[in-house]
Chain A
């Protein structure tokens, strides 16, 4: 979003290194801070544990209110005393809700919700680094973490308190609250996202009425991530939560869940930053297939549709995921997708990038996959043979060639007769392909000629004589 600066225009190369040199792990304040004006200095309240039981509740609420005050952490010397008071109070509050029973009375809920919202809900500031690469760059850390961390801590203890009553809390922890919570998952600070993950998980577990809403909003976040912004820091965390949500789905799966799989999770494989959340994504996909094996065909066809064309690193990830799927596939499902799948695998084994070829060839080390291949050798061998035969002679990398020999040997042992037939017909097959290719070219040539004729035909109406010449010219060629 930041304006393109002259330096960017001027110096495209050293940009990154210079920027990195300039900022030594800066931390960020939050946009919301400016709304607070005229800070009043906090004064310490008495300790909760020293207060008589009758006054404890009121003191608890007072302390919660006191913690609603926000401080500017970008300025490290300002309000030091008040900051320390708030930190100590938050610590005390965490301790109070985790060790005491019977402290969560109904009147405390709105105060608690207000304190939490006030502290954690904020518009995340613009990223310091517009093309932040989560794999390479250091994340910008939240400046007010010393306080926010304790607030999250408190929030968790509150949700996990045995006296916690969702029926009361749902008045405050409602759809709007959850929506704001979900937006925070975009935080660049991994520590914050980690807390959010646990918090959201607890909320999903305790508030049955919010479950559908949470799933739908995650859905929306993912769709925006895939099709609009291509940027969201908390994808991996959300997927991790979803992994366990999917695990708990009842059978038969609802249409809504299947749609989520096909229209959200599968297209997510196209994301540029797939490496950051692929493990979690693959886990979700496999969870779905373990629940309902009939989805296998759709899923594999989906993955084949989005198969990476140029990014070898992603291709390796896809192959890994396919292997995870094949590990749990039912033989009947395997038959349905073996043809398109092995056509892709045949392309992968002959990939010039040795890591891709190697990853695909490793399939032959998997006992279960091997047994599936053996069962369907009549179908698979003809698909694989051409590629394997060719690269056994052509691949530049000796490791790949060695692996291919092993694979060919395994396949030969599975069906020697077919193998021999394919070996003898290999040349004829190549020639047939060449011929077909030639025919295609001829067809298109004819079509193009027709097009030329058409266009000159239009001219013909007005300049018949000139056109006759044109025709002569074309036929002369």
Chain B
């Protein structure tokens, strides 16, 4: 690279290294983050012979600096001279892969994985694989933990003797004395299995899997559940029963709730991996048990999977299994003692209607929906309402509307403003599904009430909601139902409400079109320019700027311009500012 030759003397390595040694951690960190610049200044040759040895020798620093270093080295290949020299990066990364701090170590492993692909097969065997072996037999647990993440990247590209060694090392780490190492090995078991030849999966991985799945520590056992998914995908169907299922059954009934939780959490993946037959025979009863688990955590995780599980059941027995096995459990969960369980269920239960079709939905699911709509916990109700569209497709929303209304009204008046906010966001959707008549009759007053909520975020959302409603129901509807109410608020004694009028006009002008804006809204805005509160006045200026483009040009010149000019001489600084801004944006000067 060109930079190095002429400028060498300018950047003696000592100066650069001084920067990397700066007493101030922040400065040191900055220097490390620009390590590539330093390497560029040094050129590839001196980066290899001077910079990297320095980095390798002096690795004792704040973890944050080490983290930055580990990250940098992952994309350093070009700076040391390309793939032919990439092995030069191994020594510093090896040291980083042994430090205590997990984030540093993980980053070092990530970088090592990245540069492993840039090694030629020969370099991989000569340089990379020995590093993995050294880490795997390190004294302190950190290096062995790091090794676990490196086996799978070098295994596919080395000779069969080396492969045998790698398998041996992995086996050893799976029965390591330290639970941290076993956890690391268990978490990489699936990934490693994927790169192994099928025979070795059966002869090596399965015994390891079985052992890890019955480890004395539940933190190890639960990781084996994750591996189970990958392993099951690799094996032919006929081997699953003998090799995987005993372990999986045991995990689903583990005495530790953490393991059962993991099974519940991975249930859909497991279901896909083991196929329809095993699902019918084994997973259905297992799922029922998880839905009835004594720990709420487990029940909630399982409840979350109800829809996906049902969806993926084999077609020939789907309905039967759902009706006779799953639905009874679901019915019980609707009145669970734990609100997290109920709300997890509420977030997916509506999805069942598409699977079951109209008649079963009306007969079996509808009562459940209705019960959940009356649940004491607002999030349960909210989850039901937010998924109404699924039901709408199947049975239409009318079936629900009688129960829906009290639920909506109650949520709309919930003491927590975030609950109110959430329900506002569903209003346009509900309005679309319930139709304009129902809306006018039952919900319109709610939407208007939100405009005078005492929380700004609600008032803001309410204006935005009005805009969406107008987009749905059209300008004529707006003129008859909304605009009069909005305009009336301009005379409210509370200035916050008067401002809401302006915000509504901002939001509605475009959807309502030129005619309504000029004839009905503009006069109000102009009238408010004489408001005694400065905040209202400068919002008038802002509103005029906003609705200006929608107005007829004559109105703009004849009515808006004089008002803005008057505001531009207001005694309040902000009013002046926004008036002038509006004048220049609308090109009225």
Contacts and interface: CB of A to CB of B under 8 A. Distances in A.
Contacts of A3: 300-301, 304, 340, 344
B343 A5 contact: yes
B3 A457 contact: yes
Interface secondary structure of B, over-half rule: helix
Interface in A421-477: 440, 443-444, 446-448, 450-451, 453-454, 457
Contacts of A453: 2-3
Interface stretch (B199-207, B378-386, B443-451, B517-525): B378-386
B100 A220 contact: no
B37 A448 contact: yes
A125 B2 CA distance: 64
A126 B261 CA distance: 10
B141 A6 contact: no
B295 A125 contact: yes
B377 interface: yes
A450 B179 contact: no
B408 interface: no
A407 B7 CA distance: 50
Given A32-B255, A123-B256, A305-B62, A10 B382 contact: yes
A179 interface: yes
A227 B102 contact: yes
Interface residues of B, number: 57
B295 A31 contact: yes
A446 B10 contact: yes
A1 interface: yes
A115 B23 CA distance: 60
B34 A444 contact: yes
A365 interface: no
Contacts of A1: 258, 261, 297
Nearest to A223: B180
B14 interface: no
A176 interface: yes
A176 B215 CA distance: 12
B382 A6 contact: yes
B140 A447 contact: no
Interface string A21-49: 00000000001111100000000000000
Most chain A CB within a 10 A radius of its CB, from B258, B304, B421: B258
Interface string B176-192: 00111001000000000
B111 interface: no
B216 interface: yes
B40 interface: yes
A299 to B, nearest CB: 15
Contacts of B347: 6
A147 to B, nearest CB: 19
A52 interface: no
A5 B418 contact: no
Most chain A CB within a 10 A radius of its CB, from B27, B418, B419: B418
A454 B419 contact: no
A440 B343 contact: no
B294 A31 contact: yes
Interface of A: 1-3, 5-7, 10-14, 31-35, 123, 125-126, 176, 179, 220, 223-224, 226-228, 263, 267, 305, 343, 440, 443-444, 446-448, 450-451, 453-454, 457
17 contacts: A6-B343, A6-B347, A7-B419, A10-B419, A13-B418, A31-B257, A33-B294, A126-B297, A220-B178, A227-B102, A228-B183, A267-B100, A443-B15, A447-B34, A450-B3, A454-B1, A457-B1
Given A6-B343, A227-B102, A457-B2, 4 more contacts: A1-B261, A126-B295, A227-B180, A447-B38
Report the 9 A-B pairs with minimum CB-CB distance, sorted nearest first. A6-B379, A11-B418, A7-B379, A34-B294, A10-B418, A123-B256, A126-B297, A227-B102, A11-B416
